[in-house]
Amino acid sequence: MIDFRYHVVSIVAIFLALTVGLVIGASILSKGVADSLRSDLSQRNDQIKSQQNQINELKTQIDQQDKYITDTANQLVSGRLSGLCVALVEIAGANSDAYSSVRSMAQKQSGATICSETMINASLSSASASSATVQSLSALVAEHAPRGQKLTGTPAQQAVELIGEALTTYQTPGATAATANPTATASASAKATSTATAPAGSGATSSTGGTMTAGEALGTLDDFQSAGFITLVTQPVPGEQASLAYVQAPTAANADGDNQTYITLAESLRKDGAGTVVGGSADSSDKGGLVYAIINDDTATREISTVDNTDVTMGQVASVFCLEAESQADNGAAGHYGTGANNDGPLPPIATGTG
């Protein structure tokens, strides 16, 4: 008769055999698997080292390029805007350091006269478009639109159309603020909604006559400032008219309506005689950014030059070159420069005979 100890011994023998089989099998398999894994790991490490070396080389090239641009910036832009008057516009949410650097380079190194400096406040954005804001904008537009001039688009677009016109009006010495249409305030709503006849989405106006005088331009700017829509950092200079305009774009993405408003502003500055450049930091060339919106707008991309890296010296130099190109072009094609997609290159061609 088989006793209990026999069963125990049998069971132990079975498990011992299984264990020995697993150990032998694992030893044979693990060597091949381990060798394969070691080979793959070695290849991946080699690839990582190669790519890291490439990154370091590219970074060194970029650093050297930036250093060269920084060291030679003053010489590159020296005198290029001499005798030209630039209207500067900073939109709320812009990179203020980049704006200040472009301003300094345009004025101190390039010799430009700053005709005016204007901040477009956040109250003009769609996020602030309460019914009271819309009514206030409509009233101001109706009050200050020159007689015979028809405006289209949203109240904000109509407003920046007038602001752009006011900033590019010749400032007669001794002019004082005046109202373009003093009897229109009572009919503000009717006038603001009776002119929607221009192509949708263009942000442009259709003028049948009527332009601002110096006094009317000052009155327009003063009243929009009093209402909190703009801030005049520097009043328009008497005896000057902007031949160029530079607009600093917001860094963050904007609502489509806001981008269209800002495009309308740039178009207005250009239409009224100032070659216009819009500059921004890298984010402005991403989807939702103003530079992106301009490049992807069928009309604006052919009329408004852009620079998408004004937070670095190269972008600031590019902005000056763009302004110079605008001063020499007679309705020439716009250029788009910087590091973003769909650009014409990092810098515009350097004009000869200046600098």
67-101 pLDDT, tens digit per residue, is: 777 787 888 899 999 999 999 999 999 999 999 99
Mean pLDDT along residues 269-297: 93
Q: Which residues contact 93 (CB under 8 A, 6 or more apart)?
A: 122, 250, 251, 252
pTM: 0.77
Domain match, 297 and 319 both: yes
Sign for the CA dihedral angle at 280, 286, 288, 292 comes to positive
Domain match, 107 and 179 both: yes
Cβ-in-10-Å burial (0-12, 13-18, 19+) of 86 comes to buried
DSSP 250: B
- Please state, in angstroms and rounded to a whole number, the distance separating the CA atoms of residues 235 and 220: 12
In a domain, 36, yes or no: yes
- Please state, in angstroms and rounded to a whole number, the distance separating the CA atoms of residues 125 and 128: 6
Q: Which residues contact 275 (CB under 8 A, 6 or more apart)?
A: 243, 244, 245, 305, 323, 325, 326, 327, 329
Q: Return the structure tokens found at 204.
A: 């442009």
- Please state, in angstroms and rounded to a whole number, the distance separating the CA atoms of residues 241 and 22: 90
Contact criterion met (CB below 8 Å) for 236 and 201: no
Domain match, 40 and 123 both: no
Which pLDDT does position 246 carry in this prediction? 98
Q: Taking 60 as the threshold, does the pLDDT of residue 31 lie above it?
A: yes
Domain match, 32 and 95 both: no
Domain count for the chain: 2
Instruction: Among 35, 50, 77, identify where a domain stops.
Output: 77
Q: Where are the beta strands (DSSP E) in the chain?
A: 85-91, 113-120, 149-150, 206-207, 230-234, 244-248, 275-279, 305-307, 336-337
Which pLDDT does position 207 carry in this prediction? 33
In a domain, 349, yes or no: no
In a domain, 323, yes or no: yes
Domain match, 62 and 94 both: no
In a domain, 282, yes or no: yes
Q: Which residues contact 218 (CB under 8 A, 6 or more apart)?
A: 166, 171, 175, 176, 177, 178, 235, 236
Domain match, 192 and 292 both: yes
Q: Which domain holds residue 25?
A: 1-77
In a domain, 353, yes or no: no
In a domain, 355, yes or no: no
99-145 pLDDT, tens digit per residue, is: 999 999 999 999 999 999 999 999 998 867 789 899 999 999 999 99
48 — alpha (psi -120 to 50), left (phi > 0) or beta? alpha
Mean pLDDT of the chain: 84
Instruction: Among 42, 77, 112, identify where a domain stops.
Output: 77
Q: Which residues contact 180 (CB under 8 A, 6 or more apart)?
A: 143, 144, 145, 146, 147, 212, 213, 216, 219, 220
Contact criterion met (CB below 8 Å) for 180 and 145: yes
Instruction: Look at 202 and 258; give whichever has higher pLDDT.
Output: 258
Cβ-in-10-Å burial (0-12, 13-18, 19+) of 55 comes to exposed
Domain match, 231 and 263 both: yes
145-197 pLDDT, tens digit per residue, is: 998 888 999 999 999 999 999 999 999 998 898 876 655 443 433 333 333 33
Domain match, 280 and 239 both: yes
Hey, which residues does 248 pair with through a beta bridge?
90, 279
Q: What is the distance between the terminal CA atoms of the chain, rounded to a whole angstrom?
A: 113
Q: Taking 70 as the threshold, does the pLDDT of residue 2 lie above it?
A: no
List phi, psi (to 5°) of 256.
-55, -40
Q: Which residues contact 217 (CB under 8 A, 6 or more apart)?
A: 165, 166, 167, 169, 171, 236
Domain match, 184 and 44 both: no
Q: Which of 127, 117, 153 is nearest to 260 (CA)?
A: 153
**What type of residue is 207?**
S
| Cα three-residue angle 306-157-118, rounded to 5 degrees | 60
Q: Return the structure tokens found at 53.
A: 């070396």
Contact criterion met (CB below 8 Å) for 211 and 149: yes
Domain match, 119 and 89 both: yes
Which pLDDT does position 54 carry in this prediction? 86
In a domain, 46, yes or no: yes
Domain match, 33 and 85 both: no
Give the pLDDT band of residue 248 (cuts 50, 70, 90).
very high
Domain match, 83 and 24 both: no
- Please state, in angstroms and rounded to a whole number, the distance separating the CA atoms of residues 1 and 7: 12
Cβ-in-10-Å burial (0-12, 13-18, 19+) of 354 comes to middle
Which pLDDT does position 29 carry in this prediction? 56
Contact criterion met (CB below 8 Å) for 291 and 334: no
In a domain, 284, yes or no: yes
Which pLDDT does position 5 carry in this prediction? 67
Instruction: Among 56, 77, 98, identify where a domain stops.
Output: 77
Q: Which of 27, 135, 104 is nearest to 319 (CA)?
A: 104
